[in-house]
Amino acid sequence: MTAKDFPAKAIEGAEAAAHPEWRAPMLAVLTEERFSKPDWIFERKFDGERILVFREGENIRLLTRNRKDVSATYPDLAEALTRQPAQDFVADGEVVAFEGKVTSFARLQKRMQIKNPADARASGIPVFFYLFDLLHISGRNVEGLPLRRRKHLLKQALHFHDPLRYTPHRNEAGEKYFRMACEKGWEGVIAKRADAPYRHGRSHDWLKFKCAKGQELVIGGFTPPKGKRTGFGALLLGYYEDGMLRYAGKVGTGFDDAFLEEFHERLEERRRDTSPFKPAPGEAGAMWVRPDLVAEIGFTEWTDHGKLRHPRFLGLRRDKAAEDVVRERPS
């Protein structure tokens, strides 16, 4: 598919550009405001792994938001993308796995750890790629076009059959859509300014309405197991503030026995003598580790002392660098 296949009005203002090696993704800002506005659209927020697809001829690259190539983890998605008529494009989306009708990061986690294409195919965990934005198509950079136009181009450029899915949106009715999302057990809703360009990095043009609280946190230590438990007792978590790793509490639920034993080995490989947290938490028997692993944590709220209340482990994240983890605060 070439640029001439698109209506002139759709690509007006899009500059000619070579196929990019990398484009940093646009990221949403957390907000507690819920609204309905005619110049915003509202999309489902998925509980998965953010992926950008780069296709140049027969070369397909699936890259996480910190530029890790995960094509071998999702060979079924790569194959589906090679069957597309468009030969030169960059698109943004989220890879998900389902538990019933709800996306499950815990289930996707089992697929994310696989690095061999044959093992990925044999995993028994089907994945789907929900695409929601287009950055480049047929020699043109379309990031500067309004979001509505980019979504229109995306729908024209690709054929959407499982495992590739187009992400639909609602116009205006953000509050109603958010209530429906929470009733269905979704992660929440992403509100997007309809006329905004694609901006690299975090932007208030994209806002997160979350049904439940949760965010990425850095693993900086662990406690020993008690009773019949194996591996470790709890993970010690933190986030960066003013260049220092602040302690956010510990999580001791959400692990199965296999993970407790396997992950304990990874923790032991990272052991260090001193606490990475400043100030160091007073956790009895705590063992410290190099803070380079990131976990997705669900919780009910932050306490007045900056600690997590009722945290639960959801999985490991490989798509965010530890030093980029900060406490999410509503805008």
Neighbours of 136 (CB within 10 A): 23
Same domain, 308 and 178: no
Same domain, 37 and 68: yes
Q: Would residue 62 count as lying in a domain? A: yes
Q: Would residue 284 count as lying in a domain? A: yes
> In this structure, what are the phi and psi dihedrals at residue 103, rounded to the nearest 5 degrees?
-70, 140
Q: Which of 190, 208, 226 is the last residue of a domain?
A: 208
How would residue 213 be classed by pLDDT, with cut points 50, 70 and 90? Answer: confident
Query: 317: domain range?
Result: 213-324
pLDDT value at position 13? 79
Same domain, 126 and 37: yes
Q: Which residues contact 305 (CB under 8 A, 6 or more apart)?
A: none
24-48 pLDDT tens trace: 999 999 999 999 999 999 999 999 9
Q: Would residue 226 count as lying in a domain? A: yes
Joined tokens for residue 124 = 């028994």
pLDDT value at position 1? 54
Joined tokens for residue 138 = 């047929």
> Which residues are tagged catalytic?
45
How would residue 172 be classed by pLDDT, with cut points 50, 70 and 90? Answer: confident
What is the pLDDT averaged over residues 187-205? 97
Q: Would residue 49 count as lying in a domain? A: yes
Starting at the edge strand found earlier in the chain, the sheet holding 26-30 runs 26-30, 201-210, 188-193, 40-45, 169-171
How would residue 101 be classed by pLDDT, with cut points 50, 70 and 90? Answer: confident
Same domain, 240 and 312: yes
- Work out how many domains the chain is built from and give that number: 2
pLDDT value at position 245? 98
Same domain, 225 and 294: yes
Same domain, 204 and 223: no
Same domain, 90 and 194: yes
Q: What is the mean pLDDT of the chain?
A: 93
CATH number, domain of 301, equals 2.40.50.140
How would residue 276 be classed by pLDDT, with cut points 50, 70 and 90? Answer: very high
Q: Which of 208, 226, 251 is the last residue of a domain?
A: 208
pLDDT value at position 7? 54
Same domain, 79 and 157: yes
Question: Could you give the 3-state DSSP secondary structure of residue 158?
Answer: coil
pLDDT value at position 240? 97
Q: Would residue 240 count as lying in a domain? A: yes
Q: Would residue 307 count as lying in a domain? A: yes
Q: Which of 182, 208, 234 is the last residue of a domain?
A: 208
Q: Would residue 329 count as lying in a domain? A: no
pLDDT value at position 106? 87
Question: What is the reported pTM?
Answer: 0.83
Task: Outline where 145-256 has alpha helix (H).
Answer: 147-157, 174-183
CATH number, domain of 90, equals 3.30.470.30
Same domain, 171 and 315: no
Same domain, 85 and 139: yes
Portion of the chain with pLDDT greater than 70, in percent: 97
How would residue 235 be classed by pLDDT, with cut points 50, 70 and 90? Answer: very high
What is the pLDDT averaged over residues 85-112? 93
Whether 189 shows a pLDDT value over 90: the answer reads yes
Q: Give the whole-angstrom CA distance, residue 139 versus residue 290.
A: 43
Same domain, 225 and 198: no
Q: Would residue 282 count as lying in a domain? A: yes
Please give the C-alpha separations between residue 161 and each of 48, 155, 158, in angstroms, as whole numbers. 19, 12, 9
Whether 3 shows a pLDDT value over 60: the answer reads no
pLDDT value at position 197? 98
Cis amide bond preceding 330, omega within 30:
no
How would residue 6 be classed by pLDDT, with cut points 50, 70 and 90? Answer: low
**8-22, 75-89, 122-136, 274-288: the lowest-pLDDT one:** 8-22
Same domain, 235 and 89: no
281-328 pLDDT tens trace: 999 899 999 999 999 999 988 998 899 999 999 999 988 899 999 999
Whether 241 shows a pLDDT value over 90: the answer reads yes
pLDDT value at position 271? 97
Whether 91 shows a pLDDT value over 70: the answer reads yes
What is the pLDDT averaged over residues 93-120? 93
Q: Give the whole-angstrom CA distance, residue 196 versus residue 238.
A: 34
